[in-house]
Amino acid sequence: MGRLADRFGRRLLVPIGLAVGALGAALLIPNLPLLAAGIAVTVLSLGYDMTQPLLAGIVTGLGGKRAGQAMGLNVCTLFTAFGLGSLVFGRLLSSSIDYAFWIFVSVQLLLAVGALWVFRTETRRPQAVKADTIAGNPPTPQ
């Protein structure tokens, strides 16, 4: 995902990742054969993989000397959201699993649209940046 973010920028990858997550959940709504359900879960996982590492990268970039504290807060928020999301999803399951998935898909799509606005000014890293510079080593003169 990091290389894709370098190439295309987070401006598009985060909203697309959220939309891919919504698609994965939407694919689980109909009664699918086991193999198709496995593919839908993989698509859902891809949506998560397209967003979480990029957001973690943003948090570590914000921290400066307090990067550890920023990442700690990020992880605390992430796991709190996992717990609350599971709690809410479990409550929605009392209606039906289809209803719970529709609510999840709707929220995920709203987040994708919101991410388009939040990341609208995000620019990708210039192509000239080398791996040494990213690792903190100054570029060598040529």
Give pLDDT tens digits for 15-68. 999 999 999 999 999 999 999 999 999 999 999 988 888 887 777 777 677 778
142 within a domain of the structure (yes/no): no
107 within a domain of the structure (yes/no): yes
Query: Domain span at residue 40?
Result: 2-134
Count how many domains the chain has: 1
Sequence-distant (≥ 6) Cβ neighbours of residue 10 within 8 angstroms: 54, 58, 119, 122, 124
19 within a domain of the structure (yes/no): yes
Q: What is the mean pLDDT of the chain?
A: 83
Share of the chain above pLDDT 70, in %: 82
| CA count, 13 A, side-chain hemisphere, 127 | 2
84 within a domain of the structure (yes/no): yes
pLDDT of residue 142: 46
139 within a domain of the structure (yes/no): no
65 vs 133, higher pLDDT: 65
